Structure 1
């Protein structure tokens, strides 16, 4: 198992804090946005006297509520088309286990969410990366590049939209391009859409569940972690109109008994979150994003694309090695008693050697903290021994 590029530097961050250094965490997608009060109240006012097992597919009332959420987005699914999971992570491992045999392959545009590598290793699946580039802000590679990678062992494509770690939002045209490949070779399209609510600048989110002609091929992953700032609830969902897929996935779900009972209670209540909450969150992230992108691009030798979705970006820095740089920030650097923690982009690529001058930054901190973090990063780049300017 590979170490998480997001979490592997935690011991160095802990040591820095023990030395009295304030660490700004730009390495992990843990929003500081308050969880909706309606979800917190559901836990505080719990009437149950026994925390029982739930149905292996999740509470029916929650599944019906989640199906209604999708129906309001114009996506026709029912409660029987989904399995509630222990976070989006379990949805992915269950889907890989149910749909793919050991040694079979999935194609994933890189850089991609680092744990896809771990989920593939757990289930014996081979990842075949197709590289997108910061030179075009990580747009979808050409269809011809996908076809070059397809072999008899290729069984699926994994897409994250909006994308973690790049913040790229795939257009409807790009997704339709993917659909032609999926249909031509009868592949699964595993669609990670946990950042659906975070699309900016008037751009709309187009769900893979809305693609025509591949209704039986799509397996979608969802989560409450980011949408409601409920990362610790550990509640996700696996959704597919393919009955055979759902039947197979339920066997994996039964093996782990059930998803978190308390998390489901909070998640079901969160479905009642007001539009005003989301409007406030949207405006907050837009302000943070705009400030951070401007600050980064004003630093000498730095290039930061403008994310169209999620709350991450992959940034190109004038450094020799992002792993060394991230550790150096925590071990050897401080500015006004402060430093920053970033995630080396090397861990978001499957192709060795890529990402050595890139880091992922999450703009999940309030603007005042982001301002201090950007000041720290700017000063660090001036004195880092491995700078390449």
Structure 2
């Protein structure tokens, strides 16, 4: 039987995890704690929803095809925001708007890779990156992280072959939450530049970085667009996950190649979502700052409450953005523990095995907790249930 592109990879992990709760009843005094997906469950603020309604009612073009690379005003608006945040000098010609950040990654790979090429991914990896590379016929080369859940530049250098086309980083990281130091990101840039590779940096969670100011100086480097490819998402920032609005930032020449891919996949990003993202850029700066403060407060609650779990043998391996990455103390694979948590503790989370190559031993002891939708009381209840767990 022929192995198809889709059969070359695994089932979507979040969808697989959702099936664990089918048919399970959660009592009123112990409702499900869902920490499986890094997506806000609340809708956008009312002001943004009103702006979207106004666009739907008054803008005819909100219902028509738009430019493949996105609305000119949104491309210019994101360029301006990038320039202010990073001290950069991009223009709208460096910006492509995509149907979510996953599509930005897929389009990037289409411009870089041929059948049998290779991309280096730090592990634990973001599983959708691995899935797309599988379906594109591109080999994912795992780069296991070291101390502090950080990838090592020299270890990456040793993995480079004549078929290597890119190194892909996610910072703040999914799944670990760790924020990569600017010196580390720059070291990867220099490695990629020297080797003639692309450095893809997915910054979906940049608006929730605990550091003030830009997280790296990559946009300041001469000829940055020949090496650095920046991926971004409006989805988490403005709670627009269902509208799928992301971005790819690179050279105009690369975006011309990406346009071929994007035109055949979606023709254009959704117009209404783009109007929402543009309105958010222009009007929600203070609101986003408040959202960031709340996420950082929840991160602090994860830190302050963790000693209760540490006393039970748990370890906090990584923390930041939407995620806490934990090592559990039980003599059971996380692939078996995670479904068991649904019935035994009323918790839905993802096992570390979903973020590592098949049969990699590291994932057996690891769990990802997407805590962004839990307030302080919810985090305390999560810890209470995990502390009481007996396996």
CA offsets per residue over residues 308-351 of structure 1, 9 Å max, x none? x4211210111221111111112x314xxxx1111111111136
Structure 2 residue aligned with 1:77: 90
Match of 2:157?
147
| CA distance in 1: counterparts of 2:363 and 2:318, whole angstroms | 18
2: CA distance, partners of 1:193 / 1:201: 14
Assess, with a 3 A threshold, how the Cα gap between structure 1 residues 350 and 234 changes in structure 2: closer, same or farther.
same
Structure 1: tracts of 5 or more residues without a match = 385-389
Judge conservation of contact 1:323–1:356 (CA < 8 Å) in 2.
Answer: yes
What residue number does 1:11 align with?
19
The 5 Å alignment of 1:177-188 reads 177-188=187-198
Deviation of 1:374 (Å): 2.0
Aligned to 1:240: 250
The total of aligned residue pairs comes to: 372
Q: Alpha-carbon deviations, 1:335-371, whole Å to 9, x = none?
A: xxxx111111111113632211100111112222222
Aligned-partner Cα distance in 2 for 1:169–1:145: 19
Once the two structures are superposed, residues 201-227 of structure 1 have per-residue CA deviations (whole angstroms, 9 ceiling, x without a partner) of 658512543444543111211111112
> Who is 1:322 aligned against?
334
More helix by share: 2
> In the alignment, is residue 228 of structure 1 matched against residue 238 of structure 2?
yes
C-alpha distance in 2 between matches for 1:183 and 1:124? 24
2: CA distance between counterparts of 1:245 and 1:98? 7
Paired with 2:222 and 2:14, the residues of 1 have a C-alpha distance of 36
* Change beyond 3 A, Cα 1:367–1:32: farther
CA contact (8 A) 1:315 1:360 kept: yes
Aligned partner of 1:378 in structure 2 is 387
Aligned partner of 1:304 in structure 2 is: 316
Report the CA distance between 1:95 and its aligned residue.
0.9
**Deviation of residue 174 (structure 1)?**
0.5
**1:341 corresponds to which of 342, 348, 354:** 348
Residues of 2 paired with 1:286 and 1:113: CA distance?
A: 22
* TM-score, with structure 2 as normaliser: 0.89
Give the match for residue 103 of structure 2: 90
Q: Could you say what secondary structure the match of 1:106 adopts? A: strand
Distance 1:158 1:18, change over 3 A: same
For the residues of structure 2 that align with 1:316 and 1:297, how far apart are their CA atoms?
14
Q: By how many angstroms is 1:11 displaced?
A: 1.6
1:294 and 2:304 matched: yes
Contact 1:154–1:187, Cα closer than 8 Å, also in 2: yes
- Give the 3-state SS of the residue equivalent to 1:298 in structure 2: helix
The one of 193, 197, 200 aligned to 1:190? 200
Moved more, 40-49 or 103-112: 40-49
Instruction: Describe how 1:204-219 pairs up with structure 2 within 5 A.
Output: 204-206=214-216, 208-212=218-222, 214-219=224-229
Per the alignment, residue 65 of structure 2 pairs with 53
Work out which of the residue numbers 248, 256, 260 in structure 2 matches 1:251. 260
| Equivalent in the alignment of 1:119 | 132
* Cα distance change of structure 1 residues 247 and 204 upon mapping to structure 2, 3 Å threshold: closer
Change (3 A) 1:210 1:41: farther
Kept after mapping to 2: 8 A contact 1:235/1:264 = yes
Q: 1:351 to 1:188 in 2, by over 3 A?
A: farther
Structure 2: how far apart are the matches of 1:108 and 1:233? 27
Matched position secondary structure for 1:164? coil
Q: Does residue 77 of structure 2 align to residue 65 of structure 1? A: yes
User: Structure 2, unaligned stretches of length 5 or more?
Assistant: 1-8
Q: How many angstroms does 1:161 deviate by?
A: 1.2
Q: Secondary structure at the match of 1:355?
A: helix
* Contact 1:183/1:213 (8 A) holds in 2: no
Please report the TM-score for the alignment, with normalisation by the length of structure 1. Answer: 0.90
Distance in 2, Cα, partners of 1:245 & 1:204: 24
Partners in 2 of 1:203 and 1:110 — Cα distance? Answer: 27
CA distance, structure 2, for counterparts of residue 5 and residue 374 of structure 1: 24
Counterpart of 1:190 in 2: which secondary structure?
strand
Q: Which moved more, 1:99-108 or 1:72-81?
A: 72-81
Q: Distance in 1 between matches of 2:50 and 2:65?
A: 21
The answer to whether structure 1 residue 105 and structure 2 residue 115 are counterparts is no
